[in-house]
Copies of this chain bind each other. A is one copy, B any other.
Amino acid sequence: MSAKQTDQTGRVVNEFLGSAEIFTSAVSDLLEDELEALSEKKVTFSQMKLLKMVSIAEDYTVSNVAQFLGVSTAAASRAVDRLVRRGLVRRTEAAADRRVVQLSLTADGAELLERYDASAQRALHQVFGALPPEQLKQASEFLDRLSVSIVEQHDSERAVCFRCGIHFRDRCLLRKVRRDQCFFHARGRETKGTERAD
Are the C-beta atoms of B143 and A127 separated by less than 8 Å?
A: no
Cβ-defined contact, B2 with A140, below 8 A: no
Contact with B along A134-168 (1 / 0, CB 8 A): 01110111111011011101101000101010011
Copies in the complex: 2
Q: Interface size on A (CB < 8 Å)?
A: 70
Tell me which of A59-67, A88-96, A112-120 binds B. Answer: A112-120
A11 and B193 form a contact (CB under 8 A): yes
Q: Interface on A for B, CB 8 Å cutoff?
A: 1-2, 4-6, 8-27, 29-30, 33, 55, 113-114, 117-118, 121-122, 124-129, 133, 135-137, 139-144, 146-147, 149-151, 153-154, 156, 160, 162, 164, 167-171, 173, 192-193
